[in-house]
Amino acid sequence: MSSKITGHEQLQRITDALDEDILNASPAELREALALEGLDEAKVIAEMDAALAEAKRSCGKLRLEQAKAAVATHGSEASNVSSIDRERVRSKLDAMRSGSGENVAGMMMAARKSKKLSDRDEEGTLDDLAQLEALENGDEEE
């Protein structure tokens, strides 16, 4: 069964063929085509360079906005660690800080500029420790 080709598809095929023709042309062929059209080679090159620079700028802005959105989303995600696990891990973290407790020999935490961890840093550390513990216990959850 054959499907009917729409006008849009036909135009897209023509556009694709023209693009391929231009991309496959040699520099000499392009210069000749520009001359036949009465176009200034330097002006066309400058216009193409400007279009390329604008496309790069637009893509860069879009990527920056996407990165900002990803950071905002990541920062607003709720922790997947239960409050019971968090309290158990918090006690392990406190033991690590004081140097007491089991399995904490040789573990140290670097301070930022000789200051204590911020609340956000501590919450992140608790999440990380809970996830590590889950991995060590063979849990499937993150």
Q: Residue 85's pLDDT is what?
A: 72
Interatomic CA distance for residues 119 and 117, integer angstroms: 6
Asked if residue 141 belongs to a domain, the reply is: no
Q: Residue 61's pLDDT is what?
A: 96
Number of domains observed in the structure of the chain: 2
- Residues 62-106 have pLDDT tens digits of 999 999 998 888 767 666 666 667 777 777 777 777 766 555 444
Q: In 3D, which of 81, 68, 62 has the Cα closest to residue 125?
A: 81
Asked if residue 29 belongs to a domain, the reply is: yes
71 and 39 in a single domain? The answer is yes
Asked if residue 2 belongs to a domain, the reply is: no
Domain end among 53, 76, 99: 76
Asked if residue 89 belongs to a domain, the reply is: yes
CA of 133: how far to CAs of 9, 38, 93, in Å? 56, 72, 12
Share of the chain above pLDDT 70, in %: 75
105 and 72 in a single domain? The answer is no
Average pLDDT, stretch 7-13?
93
Average pLDDT, stretch 11-17?
95
pLDDT band, very low/low/confident/very high, at 8 (cuts 50, 70, 90): very high
Does the pLDDT at position 2 exceed 70? no
Q: What domain range is 113 assigned to?
A: 83-136
Question: Which of residues 129 and 104 earns the better pLDDT score?
Answer: 129
Asked if residue 19 belongs to a domain, the reply is: yes
Average pLDDT over the chain, rounded to an integer:
80
72 and 87 in a single domain? The answer is no
pLDDT band, very low/low/confident/very high, at 131 (cuts 50, 70, 90): confident
Average pLDDT, stretch 37-66?
95
**Cβ count within 10 A of residue 22:** 11
Let me know: does 92 contact 101? Beta carbons within 8 Å: yes
